[in-house]
């Protein structure tokens, strides 16, 4: 039995010479496993499942693993259409990878056809609370409570307006894209971005309309002064594949 394998992505006609010298997670050499015209891009994975789980729970280690994973996927995506796999998708050996390619051949073929000529664009919208906290009066608490009540009311109104603006932007971008996927908003302590993330979405866009789409996102955000837009990508279409989660971890 061979060692476990990370799977980074599945594509078509991946030239082995293009993988020469390419390394993945933990510096392991990347190689191919094929079935008919499908190619899984893989590398050796650690046998110690508990140790890997521990690394995935640490933000610093998670960032290192994710960067190595994405670097492989991004390079393959420049050569051919790919179905990206989630980070740390591991199968027990090479035979198991071939089995997955055989069992899901038609599914992967259909997905590759759908994703051909597309890219993923990330759009994040933020709203910032610029209201200063009311100062407690020196003589009476009544004025302070009135200020606090007014502040809460203004904040509620601001969030209602922001929520409506988010729906307008998302609907307009969604109509322009082939598909869209809304993710959980990111907490500020994780993203490090200023303001509250009120939209964290991915859009599947024809590669030939990439500039048009990003320009549209910027124009829509300018029409919504309460919002700040962050555009990321283009990425391989991670958000539009339902790849197998592997045998572990």
pLDDT at residue 37, rounded to an integer: 92
CATH fold of 118-235: Alpha-Beta Plaits (3.30.70)
Q: 105-114, 120-129, 130-139, 232-241 — which is least confidently predicted? A: 130-139
Q: How confident is the model at residue 94 (pLDDT cuts 50, 70, 90)?
A: very high
Chain centre to alpha carbon of residue 135 = 41
pLDDT at residue 111, rounded to an integer: 94
Q: Can you tell me the distance from the alpha carbon of 203 to that of 216, in angstroms, rounded to the nearest whole number? A: 13
Contact 44, 5 (CB under 8 A): yes
What percent of the chain lies above the pLDDT cut of 70?
A: 83
Residue 211 has pLDDT above 90, yes or no: yes
Average pLDDT, the chain: 85
Contact 32, 10 (CB under 8 A): no
Q: Quote the pTM value.
A: 0.81
Per-residue buried b or exposed e for 188-210, using 16+ beta carbons within 10 Å of the residue's own CB: eeeeeeebbbbbbbbbbbeeeee
Q: Can you tell me the distance from the alpha carbon of 173 to that of 200, in angstroms, rounded to the nearest whole number? A: 13
Express each pLDDT in 32-58 by its tens digit.
Answer: 999 999 999 999 998 888 888 888 889
Task: Sketch the domain layout of the chain as residue ranges.
Answer: 5-116, 118-235
């Amino acid at each position: 039995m061979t060692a476990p394998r990370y799977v980074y992505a599945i594509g078509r006609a991946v030239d082995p010479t293009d993988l020469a010298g390419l390394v993945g997670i933990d510096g392991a050499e990347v190689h191919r496993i094929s079935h008919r015209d499908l190619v899984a891009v893989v590398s050796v994975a650690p046998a110690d499942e508990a140790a890997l789980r521990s690394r995935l729970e640490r933000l610093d280690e998670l960032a290192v693993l994710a960067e190595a994973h994405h670097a492989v996927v991004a390079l393959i995506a420049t050569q051919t259409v790919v179905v990206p796999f989630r980070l740390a998708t591991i199968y027990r050996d090479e035979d198991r990878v071939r089995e997955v390619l055989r069992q899901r051949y038609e599914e992967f073929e259909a997905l590759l056809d759908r994703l051909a000529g597309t890219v993923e664009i990330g759009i994040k919208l933020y709203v910032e609370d610029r209201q200063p906290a009311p100062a407690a009066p020196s003589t009476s608490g009544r004025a302070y409570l009135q200020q606090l009540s007014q502040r809460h009311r203004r904040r509620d109104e601001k969030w209602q307006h922001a929520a409506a603006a988010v729906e307008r932007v998302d609907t307009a971008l969604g109509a322009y894209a082939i598909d869209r996927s809304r993710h959980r908003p990111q907490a500020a302590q994780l993203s490090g971005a200023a303001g509250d993330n009120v939209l964290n979405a991915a859009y599947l866009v024809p590669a030939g309309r990439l500039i048009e789409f990003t320009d549209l996102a910027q124009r829509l955000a300018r029409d919504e002064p309460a919002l700040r837009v962050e555009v990321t990508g283009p990425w391989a279409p991670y958000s539009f594949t339902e790849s197998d989660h592997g045998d572990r971890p």
